[in-house]
Amino acid sequence: MTAKVLVLHTGGTIGMSGSPEGYRPMAGFGEVLRQTLRGCTGAGMPAFEVIELDSLIDSANLQPANWVTIAEALLMRWEAFDGFVVLHGTDTMAYTASALSFMLRGTDKPVILTGSQIPLVAPRSDAAENLQAAMMLAARPSIREVCICFGRRLLRGNRASKLRSTGFDAFDTPNYPWLAEIGIDVALHPERLLPAAPRAFCAPAFDAQAVAVLHIYPGISARIVDAVLDSPAVRGLILRCYGVGNAPDADAELMAALARAVARGIVVVNTTQCLDGSVAQGAYATGAALDRIGVVAGGNMTLEAAFAKLHVLLASGGTVAELRERFAESLCGELD
Ligand code: ASP
């Protein structure tokens, strides 16, 4: 039986056209998309249905609430389809892929995000190729995870980052091998895919202000930490530390500001500014200081995965101790 795939259009360059202010979501894109897909038949192409969200966005405008809209649109139609393709802007695609991976944990169907660097209706577009590859992969029942299909590669969604602003190979997963390479053949690596797991779906109400991100840089002061944590809405703080998770421990006031945050019940986590490699809090005295304060090591999670995971955990409830423990565990392949 031919597989049936739902294509959910949320916005992004793929469905945009030019305007005096630059690219904007174009009217009538749903019909253009249907015609493009109808024109592409043959082995491996599934049957499809296309739906569009009411409000199509440039994904630079994404808010955590949009993750709920997307997840609910999929969950309402879950049983009627064998797989899902989500068309999304590239700017925040890795954040949404990460969020959906935690919200659709234990998915038994492929959920593939894609988009393009050049609109589908423009010359030299990469859209049709990305879309067709995503459609074919969304029809493969062995893929039980949320992925990004872009630039001839299939990537685990919660391992991906946008690394190139203009390249057709915009996304990569520096800490995990590609799930598939798309050439003349689609070389899917079954041993790299997530195994079947029990469904644990959730679409919680997110507080957009709950998670803040703080990049550590030479000269950062306690006042900056206090300013970021000034809002009582902030319940999670992601530190972007140096190398294996080091911070300027010689600044006692800075360390005290972070210790106050932990004591207030803020879940403070440590991620690395490096694209490749992991946090090993304690390899250096500068990292061990964070360990003593009670900062949670984020392993080799991407910023996008850490951000989405902290949002999902905070919105799902639990004590601070439980949240800290859950954050450090791999929930759906996001860290080693
Ligand atoms: N600004 C666009 C977006 O993220 C970029 C893209 O789709 O490539 O929606």
Tell me the per-residue pLDDT of 264-276, one tens digit each, with 9 for 90 and over.
999 999 999 999 9
Please give the structure tokens belonging to residue 320: 């601070």
Mean pLDDT across the stretch 312-324?
A: 97
State which of 17, 53, 88, 90 you would mutate to test the pocket of ligand 1, scoring each by most atoms of that ligand within 8 A of its C-beta: 90
Is 90 in the active site? no
Q: What is the DSSP string of 276-322?
A: SS---TTSSHHHHHHHHHTPEE-TT--HHHHHHHHHHHHHH---HHH
| Residue extent(s) of CATH 3.40.50.1170 domains in the chain | 4-201
Q: How far is the CA of 295 from the centre of ligand 1 (A)?
A: 34
Please write the tens of the pLDDT for every residue from 78-134. Answer: 999 999 999 999 999 999 999 999 999 999 999 999 999 999 999 999 999 999 999
Residue nearest to atom 3 of ligand 1 (CA): 89
In CATH, what class is 4-201? alpha beta
99 Cβ contact partners less than 8 Å away, ≥ 6 residues apart: 64, 67, 308, 311, 312
Q: Quote the pLDDT of residue 15.
A: 98
Task: Report d(CA 259, CA 253) in Å as an integer.
Answer: 10
Residue nearest to atom 8 of ligand 1 (CA): 90
Helices (H) and strands (E) in the chain, counts: 9, 18
Please write the tens of the pLDDT for every residue from 199-255. Answer: 999 999 999 999 999 999 999 999 999 999 999 999 999 999 999 999 999 999 999
pTM value is 0.98
| Residue extent(s) of CATH 3.40.50.40 domains in the chain | 211-328
Task: Report d(CA 194, CA 7) in Å as an integer.
Answer: 23
182-185 LR contacts (CB < 8 Å, sep 24+): 182/133, 182/149, 182/152, 182/153, 182/154, 183/152
The reply to whether ligand 1 has any atom less than 6 angstroms from the CB of 101 is no
Q: How far is the CA of 11 from the centre of ligand 1 (A)?
A: 8
Residue 227 phi, psi dihedral angles, 5° rounding = -65, -45
Q: Quote the pLDDT of residue 207.
A: 98
Model confidence at 1: pLDDT above 90: no
3-state secondary structure of 186: strand
Please write the tens of the pLDDT for every residue from 36-61. Answer: 999 988 888 999 999 999 999 999 99
Q: What is the DSSP string of 251-273?
A: -HHHHHHHHHHHHTT-EEEEEES
The beta strand positions in the chain, using DSSP E, are: 4-11, 16-17, 24-25, 47-57, 83-87, 104-105, 111-114, 146-150, 153-156, 161-162, 171-172, 180-182, 186-188, 200-201, 211-215, 236-241, 267-272, 296-297
- Per CATH, the number for 211-328 is 3.40.50.40
Rounded to 5°, angle at Cα 78 from 73 and 79:
150
139 Cβ contact partners less than 8 Å away, ≥ 6 residues apart: 3, 5, 44, 45, 46, 82, 83, 110
